[in-house]
Structure 1
């Protein structure tokens, strides 16, 4: 009897995009203006234009002109520039005056007094390390423009609500803006997944494959099971050799290497956030001994599980 899995492996993968807001900012800008935003490791920058226009520049990508209602994501946390025109000076944002509403939300006012542009910007960090499997394959910029689809209308309605809250920050407005912004980040990624041909290759293409996508979902849902190439192939009613070849072709690594790496990503998240002991975690992931688990963890992650547990969420690994 085959194991039930989610009908949409890609939707299940999006479940891992839970986020923690690092910093949010409402920017009130007047021409001429420009600013350079710093690189932030393991973060995704987003920019929502609520009035006016601007140019987004990321090294190695074509500049994008953003208009009211546009949403832009810089998925890899790269440093980048925003300005009203391409040749405007763009000083570091850290040196510009901010009015802090809280330790994570600020209002920035900057520029020369000309035409106005308002933005809601922010940086979010993905809590679950498995999200990197998805984020790593995203392009340097995702640009979501207004369009006529029902989903686009929902997105635009959300943008309008953010603009209204940003224009008159009322009690609780900061929480509304941050929650809606996080939703829009996921919507922006979903839009790219649905419309960009490059989202049909590599790991994302494997998730869309009827058979290999099912295998990936089984591994994601049940990392503790004693998976082998033969047992995964049997779940899919494929021969062992055909499954092994197709998995490697689509995913880019052998099936058992992927299983081990996924287990270690799950372990990394649990050690950082749940407080489980190394022995408990070894059992939860199907290892017969703490020593075997620790060896596998250090081989894949580069540090011991004990080092991650002692350091907490702040340890940079992988």
Structure 2
């Protein structure tokens, strides 16, 4: 009965529930005045979502493996995989390292950056945020190399323009508390860009993301994400979303690309790795929270998955467990 109630509440917006679990941490933010001729190379920042919100002028965004895109005032670009990329006056301009450019530090994470001199600079808010979350690592693999949004593409419900205007107001006048407001507005832009892509791009209707938006698979995924310690079986998950075992198993494997119970195991292991790397955690408590009846059973499962014992886990590059 309890599972049925949870499934019903999860079914209203499984994708929204998944996004709600994302924990975002700002790494760096800057307001940049970039005068043509422009050529700036941003180095890779693994594990970060990098973004550019253009408030005046225009420039080219060049991301490896993607078509160069001309960004104009009012556009917002997101590079979800933290790949190195360039901002250019022309699509073939030479680029200098972003971190070699002169800047003024305004706070712990916010700075003003200037490049070149003259009139008509390109001005933009740039930044990088990190999602220290298992779901975020899964989401990164489902997103394209770049997401570019503009006022015209958003139509009448243009949420981008007012947020950009408020962000520009904050960074140009730097009133007390301006850094806190600007960084939070930038974070909102990142989440809104992800949501807009999920809502509008056909690529978001397939695979794991498509399953999250499926009326029955979505609630099942939410149950596994939010209740990893429940002793789920194929039968109990199928029952929770009112499907037969065979139909649920076939549809899940076809959409997600792996069997239900394999996904659940990989999800538990990814959570375990994340919690072990975050700091001190008692293995017995971790095992119990993930549905294992003993510390020994959990340790065996973890070593099969990672090749290391839980006790030897350190701050290493997270495995793409569900990629």
TM interval, short-chain normalised? over 0.9
Residues 1:83 and 2:88 are matched in the alignment = yes
Aligned to 1:181: 186
Question: Which residue of structure 1 lines up, in the alignment, with residue 97 of structure 2?
Answer: 92
Runs of 5+ unmatched residues, structure 2: none
Residue deviations 1:280-305 (CA, integer Å, cap 9, x gap): 11111111111211222233345433
Distance 1:290 1:41 in 2: 32
Among 290, 297, 317, the alignment partner of 1:292 is 297
Confirm or deny: 8 A CA contact 2:150 2:160 kept in the other structure: no
What residue in structure 2 maps to residue 4 of structure 1? 6
Counterpart pick for 1:105 among 107, 110, 113: 110
TM-score by length of 2: 0.91
Give per-residue Cα distances to partners, 1:160-182, cap 9 Å, x unaligned.
11111111222221111111111
Residue 316 of structure 2 is matched in structure 1 by 315
SS at match of 2:92: coil
TM-fit CA distance, 1:122: 0.5
Partner of 2:235: 230
User: Which digits, 9 at most, give the CA deviation of each residue in 1:180-217, with x for residues without a partner?
Assistant: 11111000000101110111000011111111112111
Q: Does 1:264 align with 2:269?
A: yes
SS in 1 for 2:287: helix
The residue aligned with 1:73 is: 78
**Contact kept in structure 2, 1:45 and 1:121, CA below 8 Å:** yes
- Whether contact under 8 Å (1:32, 1:113) holds in the other structure is no
1:72-109 per-residue CA deviation (whole Å, 9 max, x = no partner) reads 00000100000222233311112211222234222111
Indicate how the Cα distance of structure 1 residues 247 and 98 shifts in structure 2: closer, same or farther if over 3 A, else same.
same
Give the drift of 1:269.
3.2
Whether 1:280 aligns to 2:285 is yes
Aligned to 2:207: 202
Q: 1:304 to 1:157 in 2, by over 3 A?
A: farther
SS in 2 for 1:4: helix
Check whether the contact 2:59–2:70 (CA below 8 A) recurs between aligned residues.
Answer: yes
CA contact (8 A) 1:302 1:317 kept: no
- Counterpart for residue 163 of structure 2: 158
Secondary structure of the structure 2 residue equivalent to 1:213: helix
How far 1:235 moved relative to its partner?
1.8
Structure 2 residue matching 1:102: 3-state secondary structure: coil
Q: How does 1:34-49 map to 2 (within 5 A)?
A: 34-49=39-54
The CA distance in 2 between the partners of 1:26 and 1:284, in whole Å, is: 43
CA deviation vs aligned residue, 1:242-288 (integer Å, no higher than 9, x gap):
21111110111110011011112222333344743111111111111
Cα distance in 2 for partners of 1:214, 1:21 equals 30
- Per-residue deviation at 1:219? 0.8
Which deviates more, 141-150 or 186-195?
A: 141-150
* Contact 2:273/2:318 (<8 A) preserved: no
Partner of 1:170: 175
Give the 3-state SS of the residue equivalent to 1:55 in structure 2: strand
Shift of 1:17: 2.4
Residue correspondences, number: 313
The 1-side partners of 2:45 and 2:178 are apart by 25
What is the SS of the residue equivalent to 1:210? coil
> Which residue, 18, 21, 45 being the options, matches 2:23?
18
Q: CA contact under 8 A between 1:56 and 1:82: conserved in structure 2?
A: yes
Give the 3 Å change call, closer, same or farther, for CA 251–88 of structure 1 in structure 2: same
Q: CA deviation at 1:224?
A: 0.6
Name the counterpart of 1:221: 226
